[in-house]
Structure 1
């Protein structure tokens, strides 16, 4: 009897995370859908997955170590294994750096950076027991685009590729660790920036449009596959050419 591989997607109820869950479920994975506040969206998502796929919604704040430990216990109890961790949970914070509140700055770093570390540290033993352990961290092209309007988000996402390289060495050869850096993707989070921002970023993107969540999910699925068995410590940019410059 073939046992389905198990994937945990943090921030899996919306946007890129939702697309990743759908792609992995279509590939036959059992999926753990982590969420913070979007429990209804996580439950609703399950209705759109293949009927034979096991799906478990789990509420946890990835920035809180104890909350992630509790999530690991639920995953271990329900599935007894983990083969793929997708660190997708994130929080943006747009605003003038001059007036950025210290608590807001700290929260963005905690979710986008500490959350990645917490999940890797706590789930690494389960992943190491897999014969195809994978971690895919979601960074952002804003890690390399200088803009003070998203200073905290950009700083945290810039650290993700560094953590990716660290853990690629620490967890080799049992677990492969890579990252994906999306450009501006057609999600609620991006749309919240408003039409002026959307128009400006599309103009700066050679392909001439926003990316689709499914296009990021496809790269995540590739990195999780046996076809990517000799790739680790890398960050793949998926941005329609946004960062090519003039």
Structure 2
């Protein structure tokens, strides 16, 4: 049987680029909700053993089915969880449920299913590094394990501190803060099963979804970054694939910020401005 890598959000730019990298040495199970795009990506991955599965990550039963399909192909070596939505793609509840609850569902299924030595890499965001600590409702994050409705209510209440037109943006940052928190807080629990868990926080990446945010502030942040350009999907793919591989066997319970220096530049400018005020 083959070693298998599951890639959620497989029809997206980062997901498909990562499939091209890991598919040279593993069977790949691509998951997405967009069947037409999923089929197109699967067909484009020439020379790769790929299985396409239509799966909504917010549906626990569907996620369990995804893992059952992958387990039927071979040993699950890794999961690269890129599935998510940006602020311009929907209302705050949709953004929160997709990014936060979807991450919980995929990771918990991985924890139940994968064997010793497997790794999961979650995609967070530089937005998780930019939200002020007082706006991150991390005291309510553990509700996700016990009461999804109460978790969602607490998260949306945290977003309600800003006018409605800005709530999707706050929901995005809060949901990605949850991804970052989960990937660090659960590392010991995963480690007891011989599993690794890591998150990666990309900056503005040259994908269809990334470009949706170009006029919502991302373009200006890119222009002022230490590396003043958009990141390439292939750059993220190499990083995600490395984190998921056995070469990164000592890497767990942490988040890797890969944003071209956006956050570092913003913090230094803020420090200088405060010093000169």
Look up the match of 2:52. 57
Look up the match of 1:242. 262
One of 87, 111, 114 as aligned partner of 2:98: 111
**CA offsets 1:75-104 (integer angstroms, 9 cap, x no match):** 223x14311011111011249xxxxxxx93
Residue 50 of structure 1, CA deviation? 4.1
One of 142, 151, 160 as aligned partner of 2:179: 160
One of 75, 78, 88 as aligned partner of 2:82: 88
CA RMSD, Structure 1 to Structure 2 (Å): 2.1
45 and 126 in structure 1: CA distance in 2 versus 1, 3 angstrom threshold: same
Q: Which runs of 4+ in 1 moved over 6 A?
A: none
146 and 48 in structure 1: CA distance in 2 versus 1, 3 angstrom threshold: same
Look up the match of 1:76. 71
Give the secondary structure class of the aligned counterpart of 1:110.
helix
8 Å CA contact retained: 1:63, 1:115 = yes
Number of aligned residue pairs: 231
Give the secondary structure class of the aligned counterpart of 2:91.
helix
Give the secondary structure class of the aligned counterpart of 1:5.
strand
Look up the match of 1:98. none
Structure 1 unaligned residues grouped into runs of 5+: 96-102
Residue 197 of structure 1, CA deviation? 4.0
Normalised TM-score (structure 1): 0.86
8 Å CA contact retained: 1:180, 1:238 = yes
Normalised TM-score (structure 2): 0.77
One of 41, 48, 53 as aligned partner of 2:37: 41
Look up the match of 2:151. none
**Superposition pairs for residues 223-234 of structure 1, below 5 Å?**
223-234=243-254
In structure 1, C-alpha distance between the alignment counterparts of 2:215 and 2:112, rounded to whole Å: 44
Q: Which structure has the larger Rg? A: 2
One of 5, 10, 14 as aligned partner of 1:7: 5
More helix by share: 2
